[in-house]
Structure 1
Amino acid sequence: MKKVNIYFNRWFSVAYHYMNLLRNNEDGIPVQIFATHPDIRHMSLQGADFAETEPALKGIEYVQFCVDFCRRNEIDVFIPRLHMLDIALHVAMFDAIGTKVLVCRDLDLLESIMDKGKFYENVSEQGIMSIPDYHVISTAEQFKDAYEDLVAKGHRVCFKPTETEGGLGFRIIDNTRDPLQELFGYVTPLITFDDAYRILASKETFPDLMVMELLEGYEYSIDCLADENGKLLVAVPRRKVGGRLRLMEHIPELEEIAARVAEVYKIPFNFNIQMKYNGDIPKLLEINPRMSGGLHMSCLSGINFPYLAVKSALGGEVQPMNFEGDVLASHLEQPMIMKINGQSVIPDAVN
């Protein structure tokens, strides 16, 4: 049986788990994993069969690198993370060499998703779920007005860049904080309004920030699997329940939101919806048009998200499914030898 060649460009460390999920698929399909990263010792590469150092390129030059890599290694499926929009823009180059790319081809939607302010506007127009009260601002005076408006509505306030990944740039305004106490404690995302205003006022304008109500209820990450046409096959809500514990549980209203998102936006393959409750109302944080950083935990529900996406991309039949029941899970670090007597044990470099 011919091996399926699968390529990951620069990913998070958790791609190590995705690679093993692909390798240990339920159909027994043999796969060969290729990966690139600027750091050849990066942990994501430890799950690959072949690894190569990735150059620091952008735009079409980076896309051309990926196309050449796929051609040279006869890649069947490419699972991108870095420079996803550039790759989607030039996805026809991969089509021409027979490589399937797990990426959303709706460029307007992809651009919108990557700018949280624009996407919130879109979601509001569609009316498919609740969004937080928010303002998009780029000057200190706009920041002040937005803060005062949200406080007047009874909200605690937070802010973050409109274009960011994960928790980068996220801050919570707390005017009761004690800087001296924090100096001797853990680093926190807390900042006073006065400090934030002073920093922002040091520039005439700055990249867009989203100033919004702070949601203080449970946060859910809904991992979703759709077919190539965006038809939803399964959605698994997951939340933190203290420490390293994660609970995958059936939440009908969140599963209904996932179904509406899929129906409206038709995001193919793997995507993730992050929601957080304010009281009993779940509100959107963001949508990631890719595998989430915690997807390997959701796979403990019995759904092999990475493999089923690849199977669908290659034309295999994947039926809609449900996970059996609620699953409580956790994780431990795994030590890994990188060198023995100076000899590297990382995957072979691609020839």
Structure 2
Amino acid sequence: MKKNVHIYFNRWFSTAYHYMNLIRNNPDGLEVKIFGTHPDPRHMSLQACDYAEMEPALKGMEYVQFCLDFCRKHEIDVFIPRLNMLDIARHIHLFEEMGTRVVVCRDTELLEMLMEKDQFYQSVKATGVMVIPDYEVVRDAEGFKQAYEKLLALGHRVCFKPTNSEGGLGFRVIDDTRDPLAELFGLSTRLVSFRDAYQALSSVSEFPNLMVMEQLTGLEYSIDCLASREGELLAAVPRRKAGGRLRLLERNEELLAIAEEVARTYRIPYNFNIQMKYNGDIPKLLEINPRMSGGLHVTCLSGINFPYLAVKEALDGDAGPLTPDYDILASHIEQPMLMTDWS
């Protein structure tokens, strides 16, 4: 393995700051130099970089070419993309031709399906690998109304979310018992009345695909997973909220079995995250993210350095065998720090 490995993160979340430091402070003593790009030169993720640049507002092949030029200029060994992951995966051969390994799912058909939640739900329904919530996909206000009424008739509380979004963006719960005045003086909320949602959606003839689905009311888990380049599961750790800022890294055999089955069925490489929520005794799929999750740095308290091991797997395919520690209660605190302005 190369003595000093150059690793590049393009536009990532703030928590990439932790991923970068986990890679830098690896147990093998591997020397790394970390590079980053982001449109905001003061972004938190860049604070862990050894070198950073501002990222231009580009799309498609123009953005891929920017990443290629950056990798060539800085002799990048491992590229860990988030923004425009699908476009990058479609042109992965261009990176590999110059010696850059890309930590991404190279099965672009699968990657595209994972990014469109309704398409992936159809696949899961066909394979039976997990249970999915009752749902309908709609594109106009009347379709939204019909889906809402259908789910309501099945006895569900109803929520909705765009089929192509990350995290909680666009997620709302329909609640006709809410008190708008109380909300005005309280905390911001994801609750919305059917009337307000319907009125807003009726303002256009058609909108991007919206998934209207049953609201799951039980415990929610993020299962952080690490797989080999070929998609063989190496480690999985279920993580759930345990009140306030507390997180529990739990040995949940049911969810660990689901992670194994997902890996066997879809062969997602490197880091991925399965989000599930219980309805009664049944865990149901929310989504799968084919990347490191926002809370992965907490999961690394299990003794598994997920970000570094993905890099190691990309370089020499030798990340396992791995045995996580479970039943760990964890939390986090803020810490003041001096900032670097990369502009």
For 1:267-306, what aligned pairs fall within 5 Å after superposition?
Answer: 267-306=268-307
Q: Using the TM superposition, give the Cα deviation of residue 316 of structure 1 relative to its aligned residue in structure 2, in angstroms.
A: 4.1
CA distance in 1, matches of 2:15, 2:341: 16
Q: Which residue of 2 aligns with 1:245?
A: 246
Q: Which residue of 1 aligns with 2:313?
A: 312
Residue pair 1:276, 1:282 contacting (<8 A) in 2 also: yes
Q: Using the TM superposition, give the Cα deviation of residue 320 of structure 1 relative to its aligned residue in structure 2, in angstroms.
A: 3.2
CA distance in 1, matches of 2:266, 2:287: 14
- Residue deviations 1:80-125, cap 9 Å, x none? 0000000001111101110000000111111111011111001100
For 1:225-236, what aligned pairs fall within 5 Å after superposition?
Answer: 225-236=226-237
After TM superposition, the score normalised by the length of structure 2 is 0.98
Q: Using the TM superposition, give the Cα deviation of residue 321 of structure 1 relative to its aligned residue in structure 2, in angstroms.
A: 2.0
Residue pair 2:221, 2:275 contacting (<8 A) in 1 also: yes
Q: Which residue of 1 aligns with 2:60?
A: 59
Q: Which residue of 2 aligns with 1:190?
A: 191
Q: Which amino acid aligns with 2:13?
A: F
For 1:25-64, what aligned pairs fall within 5 Å after superposition?
Answer: 25-64=26-65
Q: Which amino acid aligns with 2:94?
A: M
Q: Using the TM superposition, give the Cα deviation of residue 346 of structure 1 relative to its aligned residue in structure 2, in angstroms.
A: 4.5
CA distance in 2, matches of 1:6, 1:184: 46
Residue pair 2:229, 2:317 contacting (<8 A) in 1 also: no
Residue pair 2:222, 2:239 contacting (<8 A) in 1 also: yes
- Gaps of at least 5 residues in structure 2 are none
Q: Which residue of 2 aligns with 1:135?
A: 136
Residue pair 1:88, 1:103 contacting (<8 A) in 2 also: yes
SS in 1 for 2:129: coil
Identity between Structure 1 and Structure 2 (%): 68
- Residue deviations 1:286-306, cap 9 Å, x none? 000000000000001100001
Q: Which residue of 1 aligns with 2:94?
A: 93
Of residues 311-320 and 51-60 in structure 1, the stretch that sits farther from structure 2 once superposed is 311-320
SS in 1 for 2:21: helix
Q: Which amino acid aligns with 2:262?
A: V
Is 1:15 the counterpart of 2:7? The answer is no
SS in 1 for 2:33: strand
Cα RMSD between the aligned structures? Answer: 1.0
- Gaps of at least 5 residues in structure 1 are 339-344
CA distance in 1, matches of 2:8, 2:325: 31
Residue pair 1:232, 1:320 contacting (<8 A) in 2 also: no
Q: Which amino acid aligns with 1:133?
A: D
Of residues 30-39 and 198-207 in structure 1, the stretch that sits farther from structure 2 once superposed is 198-207
CA distance in 2, matches of 1:40, 1:2: 29
Q: Using the TM superposition, give the Cα deviation of residue 270 of structure 1 relative to its aligned residue in structure 2, in angstroms.
A: 0.3
After TM superposition, the score normalised by the length of structure 1 is 0.96
Is 1:258 the counterpart of 2:259? The answer is yes
CA distance in 1, matches of 2:214, 2:3: 52
Aligned length: 342
CA distance in 2, matches of 1:40, 1:203: 37
CA distance in 2, matches of 1:170, 1:324: 33
Of residues 240-249 and 315-324 in structure 1, the stretch that sits farther from structure 2 once superposed is 315-324
For 1:151-166, what aligned pairs fall within 5 Å after superposition?
Answer: 151-166=152-167
